[in-house]
Amino acid sequence: MRTLLILLLLACLTSVVSAQSRRVPPGGAAKPNARAPQPTPTPAKTRTEEPATEEKEIVKVDTELVTVPVRVLDRKGRFVGGLTQENFHVLEDGVEQPIQYFSNEAEPFTVALVLDMSYSTKFQISEIQSAAIAFIDQLGPRDKVMVVSFDENVHMLCEATNDRSQIYRAIRSTRIATGTSLYEAVDLVMNERLKRITGRKAIILFTDGVDTTSMRSNDLRNLSDAMELDALIYPIRYDTFQDVQSMKDRPMIVNNPPVITGPLPGKTSIPVPVSVPTVVTGNDKGTSVEEYRRAEEYLNQLALRTGGRIYLANTFGNLSGAFSRIASELREYYSLGFYPPEGGEPGRLRKIKVRVDKPEVAVKARDSYVFGRKKKGK
C-alpha cells in the first residue's frame, strides 16, 4: 500500500513539472540576445533605444548608427534609380564597412521647413507663404513636414506630420517681426527635433544667413553639430545687403497680427480688429560687409558638411524654383547606414567614401563625419 502511494505522489509531481515547463512568460516567447538582421528599408536595430512617445510617428533613438544620404547620377546628370544595397560599398579611412541600413529613393522623408521671418527679408510674407505651400504640394503623401519660423524668437509651429491641412495652417501663421535668431533655430531643429527621428531627413533653411539676436548658440557650434547630423541641409539664401543698408538708420515699422479693440465711436457696437504697428529704431548689427560674407560661408558650409546644396533666390521666381528643385532632389536619394569601427579618438574627423558597382556613374555624398563627441553644456 505504501509503495502504491509513493508511486502516485511521484506521478503527480512529474505532471506539475511538465506543465510548468510548457508555460510561456507574459508578453510572449523570450527574445534571443543576439541582434537579429532587419529587412531593408527598416533601420538596423539600434544598440540602445528609448520607448516610443505617445505620438507613434516619432521614435526617439540613442544610436551609434551613422547614416549617409547618397545620390547617384549618370553622365548626363540624371538620377540613377532602382539600385539595391548590394550595389553600394562604404569605406571609412579606406576600410570597407558592413552596411546595416539601406533605404531606396521610394522611402519617405521627414522635412524641417525653417523660415526666416526677420524684418530684413526682402520678400513679402504672402510670397514666402505661397512658395512654401507650393513646395509642400510637391512632396510625397508619406513625407512628413515640421514647420519652424524665427525672428528674435524661435517658433515651433508644427511638429513632423503628413497632415497637409495642419502644415498649411502652420505656414500661414508666420509673421514678420524684428530680430534674427538663426543659430538658435538651426540648433533646435538639429539637436532637439531631427536627432530623435529615424529615416531620411532634410532641413530646408530659408534665410539671408545673418544672425543678430542668438544668445544660446552660434555659427561654429551649428557647423560642428552638422558634422554629426544624419540629415541633408538645403539653404535657400537671399541677399539683403543693399536693402539693409538703406534702412539701417531709419525706424522700422512692423505690422503685427490684428488685435480686437473696442467699437469705433458712433459707428458700431461690434469690436473691430486693428493692426497695431510697432516702431523699432535701426542699429548697425548685422549690416556690415564682413557679417554678410560670414553669413554666406556659414550657409555654404551647412550644405557642404551634410551633402546638401545651397540655392540662391533674389526674386519670387527664383524662390519658387529653388523650392521646386529641392522637392525633386529629395526623391533622388538613397540612405546607407553603418556602425563606426570600434576604437578611435572621440570627436575625430572620420573620412568616408561611397562607391557604386555601376559603370559611368557619379556618386554624390558627404565625405566625412564626426562621431562620439561629448556635447558641451549649453
pLDDT digits (tens, 9 = 90+) for 285-320: 878 999 999 999 999 999 999 999 999 999 999 999
Confidence band for 241, pLDDT divided at 50, 70 and 90: confident
Q: What residues have CB less than 8 Å from 197, skipping those under 6 apart?
A: 58, 59, 110, 160
What value does the mean pLDDT take over residues 34-60? Answer: 37
**Predicted pLDDT at 6:** 53
What grid cell was written down for 368? 566625412
Q: How far is Cα 147 from Cα 140, in angstroms, rounded to an integer?
A: 16
| 3 against 367, higher pLDDT | 367
Which range, 19-23, 130-134, 241-245, has the best average confidence (pLDDT)?
130-134
What value does the mean pLDDT take over residues 342-348? Answer: 72
The pLDDT of residue 132 is above 50 = yes
Q: In what order do the strands lie in the sheet with 349-356?
A: 95-97, 88-92, 349-356, 368-370
Q: What DSSP state is assigned to residue 216?
A: S
The pLDDT of residue 322 is above 70 = yes
Q: How far is Cα 77 from Cα 126, in angstroms, rounded to an integer?
A: 34
Percentage of the chain beyond pLDDT 70 is 71
Q: How far is Cα 275 from Cα 57, in angstroms, rounded to an integer?
A: 38
Q: Which CATH number fits domain 109-259+277-332: 3.40.50.410, 3.40.640.10, 3.40.710.10, 2.40.50.100?
A: 3.40.50.410
Q: What residues have CB less than 8 Å from 195, skipping those under 6 apart?
A: 229
Q: So where are the chain's domains?
A: 70-100+338-370, 109-259+277-332
Q: What is the C-alpha radius of gyration for the chain, rounded to an integer number of angstroms? A: 27
The pLDDT of residue 270 is above 80 = no
The pLDDT of residue 361 is above 70 = yes
Alpha-carbon distance values, 274 to 13, 124, 126, 261, 264 (Å): 86, 20, 19, 7, 11
Q: How far is Cα 320 from Cα 2, in angstroms, rounded to an integer?
A: 96
SS3 category, 96 = strand
Q: What is the total residue count of the chain?
A: 378
The pLDDT of residue 372 is above 80 = no
**Predicted pLDDT at 346:** 72
* 90, containing H or E segment: strand 88-92
Q: How deeply is 186 buried, as exposed, middle or buried, from its count of CB atoms within 10 A (0-12, 13-18, 19+)?
A: buried
The pLDDT of residue 46 is above 60 = no
**Predicted pLDDT at 328:** 94
The pLDDT of residue 375 is above 60 = no
**Predicted pLDDT at 139:** 96
> DSSP per residue over 14-70, as a string?
HHHHHHHHTPPPTTSSPPPSSPPP--TTSPPPPSEEPPP-SSTT---EE---EEEEE
Q: What residues have CB less than 8 Å from 342, skipping those under 6 apart?
A: none
Q: What mean pLDDT is reported for the chain?
A: 80
Q: Which of 373, 350, 378 is nearest to 93 (CA)?
A: 350
Cβ atoms within 10 Å of 112's Cβ, excluding its own? 25
What grid cell was written down for 250? 531709419
